[in-house]
Amino acid sequence: MDFKLIVAIFLSSVYVVYSQTTQNINVLFVNEEGNTIADKAVEVAVNYIKKNSKLGVSAEPRKVVGNRTDSTGLLELLCSTYNDMLEKNIPPHLVLDTTKTGLASETVKSFTSALGLPTISASFGQEGDLRQWRNIDENEKQYLIQIIPPADMIPEMIRTIVINQNITNAAILFDDSFVMDHKYKSLLQNVATRHIITPIKDNIQEQLQSLYKLDLVNYFILGSLANIRKVLDGADNAQFFNRKFAWHVITQDKGDVKCQCRNATIMFAKPVIDAKYQDRLGSIKTSYQLNADPEIAAAFYFDLALHSFLTIKDMIGEGAWKRNNVTNYVTCDEYDGKNSPKRRGLDLKKYFNKV
């Protein structure tokens, strides 16, 4: 096999000014069922700031967990937790949103925009995909922020490859390590490429044969190394490694592809940690047990949470909350569709970029 590395994804670093005092921040953390990587990474970030008091920030997030199909149940949990925070006079400085997609994500976006709550979201979706934030104004864009996670950016490589290589047909197979619900229409939008996006099935040889009958000969696999191997072994058994076919495999996992493939040429993409941050990541993994996989996802959620906490600390320290009068909150019951608080000049985005 001939493997080629075509992408390197770099983990970010956080630069901070040590503080002599500790700023307590109130965080409403919203996650979805099954996203254990985000759950663990945020827990590690909270523990990290607790053990590194010189960072000058502390947080004990209130957590709400929902699922992608029960909007009403999640909204009730959000409202009850939020109202309880208001009653205890600890209104959220920040909503940290790690829901991925579906009704869970949509519910959080509706909730935060309606109530004017500063939010940093790691939900999946390119520009315009977050429907409940699609029409927010320029002022709201300063405090309702989306940071696209690696698992949502990585599939965009397919679009780049297709365009650069002028590929006219494509079969895109994926497993549950990627969310593709919102990409069926958008991934190759306005690209003259006949394509199918489909989950990897148990009977892979039958699936590959069905795709071939549709005259699809350019294959892209998005998945774990284990599932990539499953597909490639099936392709070898089906004798799909010859000049007629082109194979591209993309993963979030570490390590190399292994398969029983004969005479196969495969374009292979995986995340690679920038050498500058290797020691930092290793230290956090060892000292704080940031051991969830894929590693790139765990590192992303950790950095996102830490950046978010430090951002709010800086904003409060510089008087942004008082200066912009972020003291008016409405409960879910008080909200009537016309009384959303306006956070004029609350530039969460600017401060986040400065951290």
Alpha-carbon span 153 to 130, nearest angstrom: 15
Max CA pair span of the chain: 67
Instruction: Say how many CA atoms lie within 13 Å of 62 toward its Cβ.
Output: 21
Sketch out the chain's domains with CATH numbers.
11-151+277-354 (3.40.50.2300), 155-269 (3.40.50.2300)
146: closest CA among 159, 133, 163? 133
CA 313 from centroid of its chain's CA atoms = 23
Is the Cβ–Cβ distance between 235 and 261 less than 8 Å? yes
Alpha-carbon span 152 to 126, nearest angstrom: 8
pLDDT of residue 17: 52
The letter for the amino acid at 140 is E
- CA distances from residue 141 to 28, 119, 128, 341 in whole angstroms, order as listed: 19, 10, 13, 14
Q: What is the dihedral of CA 260, 262, 268, 270, to 10 degrees?
A: 20
Buried b / exposed e over 236-256, threshold 16 CB at 10 Å, is: bebebbeeebbbbbbbbbeee
pLDDT of residue 325: 62
pLDDT of residue 324: 67
Return the DSSP state at 171: E
Alpha-carbon span 269 to 36, nearest angstrom: 24
- Is the dihedral angle over the CA atoms 231, 235, 240, 241 positive or is it negative? positive
pLDDT of residue 18: 55
- pTM, two decimal places: 0.91
Alpha-carbon span 239 to 221, nearest angstrom: 17
Instruction: Say how many CA atoms lie within 13 Å of 278 toward its Cβ.
Output: 6
Residue by residue, pLDDT tens for the chain (355 residues) are: 333 333 333 344 444 455 558 999 999 999 999 999 999 999 999 999 999 999 999 999 999 999 989 999 999 999 999 999 999 999 999 999 999 999 999 999 999 999 999 999 999 988 778 889 999 999 999 999 999 999 999 999 999 999 999 999 999 999 999 999 889 889 999 999 999 999 999 999 999 999 999 999 999 999 999 999 999 999 999 999 999 999 999 999 999 999 989 889 999 999 998 889 889 899 999 999 999 999 999 999 999 999 999 999 999 999 888 776 677 899 999 999 999 998 888 999 999 999 8
Strands of 202-264, DSSP E: 218-222, 246-250
